[in-house]
Structure 1
């Protein structure tokens, strides 16, 4: 009998720990991978998902201005690199964005391109997102852009990013809390 109570206690304790460590705002359920799944298989699966999402994202919103469209595409590449916690890819995307944008946005994009630390890149990405909002709102011709929010970013202060799908892929935490967040606003 003691053994059953002890097992139930450990199961309840484990469930409590899992629920406290997950994002409270996460509305999506994640699938569990089996213990036999290799790290390489998980990376390949993640790359395929990112590729499908990127293709979907690029076809969602259309803009009146080709320059804004190119900047938004580079922004999405940067967001995806941060989601993947890939500092080098973030640098590459930021360089692409800085080549084709206005002075203030170029300055922040250069900050990301010059930083090799992913957390510094994420902090600058927050600034970039705030600067991109009026540009995107004023140039969208059709489709939708989703302004998303993670309440846990930056030590609980929370922060925003843009995406072309409602699916949450958090650039501030990457795979630590991939689906933490919610859609705050739809820009059309």
Structure 2
């Protein structure tokens, strides 16, 4: 009886330990990479090249040019958030507004994109990005004509509430945490 309880405790401990190791937080490999900045940069460059190759292969087409441009700028914004580049986020947001032209004043997506203009705090930008993502979902689903969009999810975003974003690649590049938890997330849905 005692041996059975001991075995159960050991199994439960091992299970709990494996869950901790597979969570979205930093793992040992990432910590090892961070200890040598040059090695981290080379590793990051290789990942960026892989992402660029994968992005080239997964071009998405939409039924109209406006949504095509909006999605392109959304991806640029997502990538800028991954790099914590607040200026790049603002530039992409301005291009989203410009894509709607005169209709921008009455368009929910353009109105959300306009909110980036005066915000340089990356955390506030990530908040607005969440709102923009929610507004884009029905538009993307309705307008896609060819290719795939990956709806991705991070359970750790916004204090554990979790949140979504869209990508043209299955590869996870988390816009809510950037390099702190670059690969935290999973593909929740594939939109075709």
Give the shorter-chain TM-score range: 0.7 to 0.9
Match of 1:160 in 2: 164
Match of 2:143 in 1: 139
Structure 1 or 2, whichever has the larger Rg, is: 2
Give 5+ residue unaligned stretches, structure 2: 1-16
The 1:171/1:23 distance shift into structure 2, 3 A limit, reads farther
Match of 1:6 in 2: none
The 1:49/1:97 distance shift into structure 2, 3 A limit, reads farther
Matched residue pairs, number?
Answer: 167
Matched, 1:84 2:83: yes
Match of 1:72 in 2: 71
The RMSD of aligned alpha carbons is 2.7
Q: Aligned-pair distance for 1:173?
A: 0.3
Give 5+ residue unaligned stretches, structure 1: 1-15
Match of 2:116 in 1: 112
Q: Deviations over 1:108-160 (max 9, x none)?
A: 11112321000000000000000011111011111100000000100011000
The 1:71/1:25 distance shift into structure 2, 3 A limit, reads same
Match of 1:94 in 2: 93
Q: Deviations over 1:32-59 (max 9, x none)?
A: 4385543xx7447535644653564364
Judging by fraction of residues, say which structure has more helix: 2
TM-score, normalised relative to structure 2: 0.76
Q: Deviations over 1:85-106 (max 9, x none)?
A: 1111111111111111342111
Residues 82 and 174, structure 1, Cα contact 8 Å, conserved in 2: yes
TM-score, normalised relative to structure 1: 0.77
Residues 82 and 174, structure 2, Cα contact 8 Å, conserved in 1: yes
The 1:60/1:70 distance shift into structure 2, 3 A limit, reads same
Q: Aligned-pair distance for 1:83?
A: 0.5
SS at 2:99's partner residue?
coil
